[in-house]
Chain A
């Protein structure tokens, strides 16, 4: 059981380049999330999705885009990379149950991105 899989694990970009971080989950979870983790700052939510075709902004969405065409996949796109986007990115998923959902998240192993 793979859980949440992220690719690539490491990437170096030049300023202005674009790239897509891939995320796929095999648990049939409805909810998926993208977080970024910066030292001493905890995790900040970038975007999330409550199901295929539905996405919404989190705390720090600027400079990013997402799509959710299937239940399994939730790619994160950086259109014009900037040094401020140097971070570790985590994808996560959860199986919500409406108001009774507990919010337990299952995380991928992360993608470390450096923008120079």
Chain B
């Protein structure tokens, strides 16, 4: 079975500071990994995804994530955040051959001026 753990439920940071949102997964087979973002009162939208190849993937709005197979992690980073990055972020995993995504519990990112 596949599972995802987001290690922080809330992350407050100051504007223009760097941020890292942590995600660990478990699966007995190869996986696809995703980060979705949910802005207030909206649905989720894809931020970035890892399918194969380079372990560093870049997404929209300056975010990037690194797949670390040995640590079963897929942490999301941004070198300098903006007020508009205030949102909830969800990590998700899908094992190859499975039909469903499994989502983590979400991390609420709050940017303080």
Contact = CB atoms under 8 A, between A and B. Distances in A.
A96 B96 CA distance: 12
B58 to A, nearest CB: 16
A105 B44 contact: yes
Contacts, number: 55
A43 B90 contact: yes
Interface of B is mostly: loop
Contacts of B49: 102, 104
Contacts of B44: 43, 90, 92, 105, 107
A50 B99 contact: yes
Interface of B: 6, 9, 32, 34, 36, 41-46, 49, 51, 90, 94, 96-97, 99-101, 103-106
Among all A-B residue pairs, the 5 with the closest Cβ atoms: A107-B43, A103-B94, A42-B105, A43-B103, A42-B103
